[in-house]
Structure 1
């Protein structure tokens, strides 16, 4: 499934909810379904800088696609990283790098986050794309 179609699915899912309390609950549920990072990988070098809560992110290259795992010590933050991983997991690095992130505005996520969580969201996207950059370079070498 393409990044664009996954984003469209998310937009449609979020449109089913009438208010942001329901959307937050949905994000928390998505966080519970996150492919969790192994406890041995919860190291300082896997922590995303710029997030108020702790978010660990790891990635591996399986064939020509990137697989992500993550965890967070905060339930809303865990939901946010779960959404991003759903969009980018099992995608080619170049597709991740080229992806438009318009779905974040389409679902109203950024405007309903506190400034610190919004900064964390930007940091998460940056880290996901840094992994994609590294794996794209590896595929090109």
Structure 2
């Protein structure tokens, strides 16, 4: 899959969640985790400026977040961007879990992993709601026929 769509490093969404958990566990405090998440966002493939519009905007996010999907074979690939550094990192994290997966795997991967990783609780209420809105948008795309 070509940029800007994210190709997964791990074979399954569950493996991606476990890898993220292991990576975050290395850090002693949330400031270090935030820095790591921000760095993940900086590594996102470039997002085409023409997609930064209302048609691609994710509702329910405090920051502006844009997502685009592409179906290839039986898999959905996603590209994304935010105008906020920490949120771009959260986009990168979500795309690592969900991009390049089948519709069935996306639907089966409950976004509760965000809470299990402590991400929602560590963010402001608005940012926590926003990351959950991003996960809903990705899962909604998978459920659309």
TM-score (norm 2): 0.89
Distance in 1 of aligned mates of 2:138 and 2:76: 10
Distance in 1 of aligned mates of 2:112 and 2:33: 18
Match of 1:30 among 31, 37, 40: 40
Distance in 2 of aligned mates of 1:94 and 1:33: 27
1:8-87 residue pairs with structure 2 within 5 A? 8-87=18-97
Q: Is the contact between residue 57 and residue 69 of structure 1 (CA under 8 Å) also seen in structure 2?
A: yes
Does residue 107 of the first structure (1) align with residue 100 of the second (2)? no
For residue 110 of structure 2, give the secondary structure of its aligned residue in structure 1: coil
Give the 4+ runs in structure 1 shifted more than 4 A: none
Match of 1:130 among 137, 140, 143: 140
More moved, 5-14 vs 106-115: 106-115
More moved, 99-108 vs 59-68: 99-108
Structure number with the higher helix fraction is 1
Structure 1: tracts of 5 or more residues without a match = none
TM-score (norm 1): 0.91
Tell me how far 1:40 sits from its aligned partner: 1.3
* Residue of structure 2 equivalent to 1:2: 12
Tell me how far 1:133 sits from its aligned partner: 1.0
Residues 50-89 of structure 1 deviation map (CA, whole Å, 9 limit, x = unaligned): 1011000000101111110011100011111110001011
Q: 1:102 to 1:126 in 2, by over 3 A?
A: closer
Q: Is the contact between residue 15 and residue 107 of structure 1 (CA under 8 Å) also seen in structure 2?
A: no
Structure 2: tracts of 5 or more residues without a match = 1-10
Instruction: Give the paired residue count.
Output: 135
